[in-house]
Structure 1
């Protein structure tokens, strides 16, 4: 009460007119959290009523006086609840949307990116070649994803390179036309995106959306209450603004709920296409189980991808310098003075 340094008229204006220019949302939050509860308010009203009949009655102390004044603002509690929910709704829905967009992006990349299929094809081809003498393992039609993080541990006979570095180099030289150039694009989902995806849980999304739905219904009920109990003077602009917000919020929430269902279905289809099975205790494959493998593989792959690109860039620069050097040697020539032997030169000498 002593820290906000605001007049009660300012607070009343902020609540009734939904104007946060003087009383900000943080202050409204503090006022809402410290408002008088029903039993406290009942005691304050009893004291005020009894004081009216007594000349020597003690006045309310400052805190109680402040709470009493707040209670005189038309539907203070209901209005502030709606204002605060409106201020946080968009932030919450946007946070969920951003996470889901990352999840959708990595799912689509792993599902339809041609480069991903080419890299996995190389892993299978080189694996079969290395196991060529083994009938049971040298003619495989596929492999489990948990092999991917282990590729860096398979070393050449002289220990100079790993199977992963060889695959990366082979991919760049035979499948990527921009290899060794600044326009070269990393072919797998970014490790950071895969890490974020591995931390997500569909249960958390569902819980957050359920809470938003519950709070939105509460806000709608509080809005109806305010509109029903408020005088015509205090009805607007609260009704207009809240009606507009509630309509848009319901649309946004329904869209987000639908998007969550679609994203979860896309993810489950992806896990089936890669033949990934749930871990013990899981009903379905979790993002953690699936994307943790890809995160580790993508991190290792990108490290080698950067190294190989630098080597190829150096090769390109060296070849360009050599070509330029050869071109200069071909075009360079020496100007030599030609001895004059014609009749005109001979006559000139005699003169």
Structure 2
């Protein structure tokens, strides 16, 4: 109270009216955590009762006075619990939503992204070409994903270029019309997105949503208790605001639970699409098993992609400069009129 320079009336107003203008949520959190527990309140109340019968009784010290005044706010604990949960719910659900949406976006891109399929097609085509003399390996219909990070280690006969750099160059020069321009779009999922996806676990998301569901039910229960024992004077605006929040929170939580289930289904389909098997000791394929391979490949691919784009940009600039130079030379070239100097011209001048 001394450090915050707050009056108990300010705290009571904030709690009863859900007004955080003077008492912010961080302060309410500190007050909630430091509120008197049942045993402490029993001791304080016994002291107050016994002191009332004594003339020279020792008064309560400031901390105990503060706890007693705090407990005097109608339904302080239940109200503040609901207020704090309301403030954290949006952040928690948004955090899960952002991660799940990113994971779903990566899954969709890997399974149906035009650039991804073109790059994989090139890998298969060049792999078959290089193994053309081998009947068993030169007519493959597909390949396992663990080949992708190894492409950078396959070198040309003069060791000047890797297979991956050749694929990147071929893709940009034959499949991307915007290559060498600012509008050129990276064809694979971003390495950073793939790394984040590789660190995610569906069990963590499910645990977070279960906890939110449990806390939401607890908040609903506390809201009912507060409303049941509150006087008419202190019932509003708490009742209307909390009921509105609880309705909206239930809807958002149900939508997020459905989105998580859809994303998990999308991930399972992706593992089947790429024929990825669980690692030894795993019952099912984890995001780390699938996306760590793609993260390594995308990181290598993007580094070469950026380098090749710069090279193409220089080529375009050089070609443009050459075109401008030729245009200037053409405009500077002019044919001077030929002056007549023969006998006929001289006679014409005399006449």
After TM superposition, list the pairs within 5 Å mapping 1:332-347 onto structure 2. Answer: 332-340=332-340, 346=346
Structure 2 residue aligned with 1:200: 200
Structure 1 residue aligned with 2:320: 320
Is 1:61 aligned to 2:82, yes or no? no
After TM superposition, list the pairs within 5 Å mapping 1:279-290 onto structure 2. Answer: 279-290=279-290
After TM superposition, list the pairs within 5 Å mapping 1:167-178 onto structure 2. Answer: 167-178=167-178
Structure 1 residue aligned with 2:268: 268
Structure 1 residue aligned with 2:6: 6
- State the Cα deviation string for residues 76-110 of structure 1 (Å, max 9, x = none): 00000001000110011111111111101111111
Structure 2 residue aligned with 1:15: 15
- State the Cα deviation string for residues 33-92 of structure 1 (Å, max 9, x = none): 000000111111111112222222211111111100011100000000001000110011
- State the Cα deviation string for residues 305-345 of structure 1 (Å, max 9, x = none): 11111111222222222233333444443353532469996
2:285 counterpart SS class: coil
Is 1:250 aligned to 2:250, yes or no? yes
Is 1:162 aligned to 2:162, yes or no? yes
- State the Cα deviation string for residues 154-174 of structure 1 (Å, max 9, x = none): 111111000000011111111
Displacement of 1:227: 0.1
Give, in whole Å, the separation in 1 of the partners of 2:207 and 2:133.
53
Structure 2 residue aligned with 1:304: 304
Give, in whole Å, the separation in 2 of the partners of 1:240 and 1:311.
63
After TM superposition, list the pairs within 5 Å mapping 1:79-228 onto structure 2. Answer: 79-228=79-228
Greater alpha carbon shift after TM alignment, 45-54 vs 249-258: 45-54
Give, in whole Å, the separation in 1 of the partners of 2:284 and 2:15.
48
Displacement of 1:281: 1.7
Greater alpha carbon shift after TM alignment, 319-328 vs 245-254: 319-328
1:45 counterpart SS class: helix
User: When the two structures are aligned, how many residues end up with a matched partner?
Assistant: 351
2:283 counterpart SS class: coil
Displacement of 1:177: 1.3
TM-score, structure 2 normalization: 0.96
Give, in whole Å, the separation in 2 of the partners of 1:93 and 1:344.
100
Greater alpha carbon shift after TM alignment, 337-346 vs 109-118: 337-346
Give, in whole Å, the separation in 1 of the partners of 2:239 and 2:264.
37
Greater alpha carbon shift after TM alignment, 320-329 vs 130-139: 320-329
- State the Cα deviation string for residues 107-137 of structure 1 (Å, max 9, x = none): 1111111211111111111111111222222
Give, in whole Å, the separation in 1 of the partners of 2:135 and 2:298.
30
Give, in whole Å, the separation in 2 of the partners of 1:68 and 1:9.
14
TM-score, structure 1 normalization: 0.96
- State the Cα deviation string for residues 227-248 of structure 1 (Å, max 9, x = none): 0011000000100110110000
Q: CA RMSD in A?
A: 1.8
2:215 counterpart SS class: helix
2:322 counterpart SS class: helix
Structure 1 gap segments, 5+ residues each:
none
2:159 counterpart SS class: coil
Structure 2 residue aligned with 1:232: 232
Structure 2 residue aligned with 1:30: 30
Displacement of 1:195: 0.8
Greater alpha carbon shift after TM alignment, 37-46 vs 312-321: 312-321
- State the Cα deviation string for residues 202-258 of structure 1 (Å, max 9, x = none): 111001101101100000000000000110000001001101100000000011011
Give, in whole Å, the separation in 1 of the partners of 2:285 and 2:228.
49
